[in-house]
Amino acid sequence: MQVHIEQVLLEVIEGDITRWQGDYIVNAANSGLYGGGGVDGAIHRAGGRRIAEECAAIRQRQGKVLPGDAALTSAGSLPFRGIIHTVGPIWKGGSANETAVLAECYSTSLNLACAEGAQSIAFPNIGTGVYNFPKSAAAQIAVTSVVRFIREKTAANMPLKRIAFVCFEPDNAAIYRELLESCR
C-alpha cells in the first residue's frame, strides 16, 4: 500500500523492520537506551554489540533520552546508514501528554533524518507494544505527524523521498492501510 504526499512516497509494509531496505530505521527505545524487548530487542540482536556500545556512549555523554527525543547511532552490522532511537511515551490513560510526546517522536526522528540527508526512513509502531499506547490512536498520530512534516518542509529542505510504516502485527498494518487510503 503506497500513497504520495507531495513528492514523498508513504508506504505500509508488514514485517520485521530489520529486513527493510533503505537509509535509516527508527527504534522504539527506552530512555536509558538499554535495549529490551519488542522492536528494540530485534534491532539490537540483528545489528550486534556495536549498537549497544554506541548507546552506552550516548548515555555517558548526555544521560537519559527524554520521551519524544531521539539519538542517532550507526546500524552496527545492519545495512542501514544509521538507527534513530526515539523514546515513546508510556501510556498512562491519555492524560499525561502521551499524544504530544508520540507526535514529537515522529517529528524529532524526521528532523534528525533530514539533517543526515536521509532519502528514506522506516518507522515501527512506536509506543504500541509494552508502552501500551492504543494502536488506532497511535497510528493516527503517526500518519498525521508525518504528513504534517512533509507539508511543512520546503522542497529544498526535504531530502526524504520514501517513508515506511513497518507493521509487525497484521492488525496494525490494516489500521495504517486504511489511514493512508484516506490520504489519497
Q: Is 172 in the site for ligand ADP (CB under 6 A)?
A: yes
Long-range contact set of residues 50-56: C-beta below 8 Å, sequence gap at least 24 = 50/74, 50/76, 50/77, 51/75, 51/76, 51/83, 55/29, 55/85
Within positions 43 to 82, which residues make up the interface with ligand ADP, using CB under 6 A? Answer: none
CA gap 180, 13 in Å, rounded:
12
Binding segment (CB under 6 A) for ligand ADP, from list 2-10, 38-46, 49-57, 72-80: 38-46
Q: Is 108 in the site for ligand ADP (CB under 6 A)?
A: no
Q: How many residues sit close enough to ligand ADP to count as binding (CB under 6 A)?
A: 22
Residue 40 annotated to the active site: yes
Binding segment (CB under 6 A) for ligand ADP, from list 53-61, 108-116, 144-152, 161-169: 161-169
Q: Is 126 in the site for ligand ADP (CB under 6 A)?
A: yes
Binding segment (CB under 6 A) for ligand ADP, from list 31-39, 47-55, 70-78, 175-183: 31-39
Alpha helix ranges (H) inside 12-127: 38-47, 49-62, 98-115
Q: Is 17 in the site for ligand ADP (CB under 6 A)?
A: yes
Q: For residues 18 and 145, which CB has a smaller minimum distance to ligand ADP in the complex?
A: 18
- Determine contact, residues 79/24, Cβ cutoff 8 Å: no
CA gap 106, 86 in Å, rounded:
8
User: Which positions are annotated as active-site residues?
Assistant: 40
